[in-house]
Amino acid sequence: MENNRKRPKKKKKIVKRAVIVIGIPVLIIIIAFSAMLTILASFMPSAAVSMVDDYKKAAELAGCTWQELVVYDTVRFHNDLEDVNPYLSAVDFMKMYYEIYKYVETEDGGYWTLVSSGTLITPESIWRWLRIPKDSDINAVLEAAGKYARPEFVVQFSPKELDDLIIEKKFTEEQIEWVDMLMTSGALDEMFGDVHDLPDYIDSAGTGYFGWPAPALHNITSKFAVARKHPVFGITRAHNGVDISGPGAMGSPVCAIDDGVVISVNLNGGERGINVRVQHNIGDDVWVSRYQHLSAAKATVGQKVTKGTVIGAVGNSGIGTGPHLHLELTYNGVLIDPLPLIK
């Protein structure tokens, strides 16, 4: 009988020990998971859904994507966007080119001659040239520029690259990694309800794939990567596209991967060098392909191209280690790996 009475106590000890053995690891996992979520949340943009419309409108005026603008503010303001004005932030993305002419009268009637020209790349220089108050937002900048619509002035705006802007603003390596993580994860689109699953089939000339952008070259020298050591700067950065090269790469033709419209031709693209962007509208989806480090651009803004149209030549402009084509592809504003989709 005494043995029978002791057994329940023994069972209680076994159960208690089992609870401790199993419970402590589970508790540790829960605490670790919660900590991970907390850390991850601190890196996710704090922009409210109500702010996204303003970011989209401001980005459209600046010529950049709303994702680039949100990420730029998220990182530089350490994820505190409560008092941030997207329309003011958008001015940082603007480059302004100007020309000033004077009219010279002659016996034959006269002509306009160029007096001066230049490119302004800082908000301060743009505000000063336009003679508007410091900290004027993008709406005020464009309104002021509209007043120069006279024969003696030419004023044109073009967007800066996010890559160049973060270098200009001297982002730290950690900040640059944060930018890359947000730009390649698709997290912004998931947060703000613009989730798009990649299609299994690309409706491109009945092939199911986009075209190969460099017909004479087939060596993949660097793949799409969330993080890699930059071959020139030596810092850890995302590689947001695919590099294609091969024998005789310099000057090889670069072709549009699908039908579309050329939306930018940048002859001074900083790190990217000479580059061309083509927008492809397929159904409700917007794809943008970008061809970088070119030796020459053979396209004009607004030009309609078809799959295989030559739009440039392979080069080594910008920052690189040799002649190659760097191809980037965005799907509804999100950078994705182009390699599985081109053939």
Q: Percent of the chain beyond pLDDT 70?
A: 78
Residue 50 host element (H or E) = helix 49-62
**In this predicted model, what pLDDT tens digit does every residue of 1-32 receive, in sequence order?**
444 445 555 555 555 565 455 555 555 555 44
Q: What's the half-sphere exposure (Cβ side, CA atoms, 13 Å) at 48?
A: 6
Q: How confident is the model at residue 307, as a pLDDT?
A: 96
**In this predicted model, what pLDDT tens digit does every residue of 82-127 receive, in sequence order?**
889 999 999 999 999 999 999 999 988 899 999 999 999 999 999 9
Maximum CA extent, the chain: 131
The closest alpha carbon to 293, from 327, 333, 261, 264, belongs to: 327
Q: How confident is the model at residue 27, as a pLDDT?
A: 54
Query: To the nearest whole number, what is the mean pLDDT of the chain?
Result: 83
Q: How confident is the model at residue 22, as a pLDDT?
A: 59
Q: Which of 75-79, 142-146, 268-272 has the lowest mean pLDDT?
A: 268-272
Print burial letters for 311-324: b (CB count within 10 Å at least 16), e (below 16): bbbbbbbbbbeebb
**In this predicted model, what pLDDT tens digit does every residue of 165-215 receive, in sequence order?**
988 899 998 898 888 888 776 667 666 655 556 777 888 877 889 999 999
Report the length, in residues, of the chain: 343
Q: How confident is the model at residue 29, as a pLDDT?
A: 52
Q: How confident is the model at residue 106, as a pLDDT?
A: 92
Q: How confident is the model at residue 36, as a pLDDT?
A: 39
Q: How confident is the model at residue 12, as a pLDDT?
A: 55
Residue 259: left if φ>0, alpha if ψ -120 to 50, beta else—which one?
beta
**Phi and psi at residue 300, to the nearest 5°:** -125, 150
Q: How confident is the model at residue 21, as a pLDDT?
A: 56
* Band of residue 292 on the pLDDT scale cut at 50, 70, 90: very high
**Phi and psi at residue 322, to the nearest 5°:** 165, 165
Helix (H, G, I), strand (E, B) or coil at 243: strand
Q: How confident is the model at residue 173, as a pLDDT?
A: 85
Q: How confident is the model at residue 267, as a pLDDT?
A: 85
pLDDT exceeds cutoff 90 at 299? yes
CA distance 224 to 212: 16
User: Region 276-296: what's the mean pLDDT?
Assistant: 93
- Other C-beta atoms lying within 10 Å of the C-beta of residue 25: 10
**In this predicted model, what pLDDT tens digit does every residue of 37-63 receive, in sequence order?**
343 444 455 555 568 889 989 998 998
- Other C-beta atoms lying within 10 Å of the C-beta of residue 254: 31
**Amino acid identity, position 159:** P
Please give the angle made by the CA atoms of 265, 251 and 261, to the nearest 5 degrees.
Answer: 30
Strand partners, 225: 239
Copy the structure tokens of residue 260.
């579309």
**3-state DSSP helix/strand/coil % of the chain, to nearest 5:** 35, 30, 35
pLDDT exceeds cutoff 70 at 148? yes
Q: How confident is the model at residue 42, as a pLDDT?
A: 45
pLDDT exceeds cutoff 90 at 138? yes
The closest alpha carbon to 166, from 84, 74, 96, belongs to: 74
Q: pTM here?
A: 0.62
Does 141 or 226 have the greater pLDDT score? 141
Contact at 8 Å (CB) between 243 and 325? Answer: yes
Strand partners, 117: 99
Q: How confident is the model at residue 18, as a pLDDT?
A: 52
Q: Percent of the chain beyond pLDDT 90?
A: 52
Please give the angle made by the CA atoms of 197, 223 and 258, to the nearest 5 degrees.
Answer: 55
Does 8 or 306 have the greater pLDDT score? 306
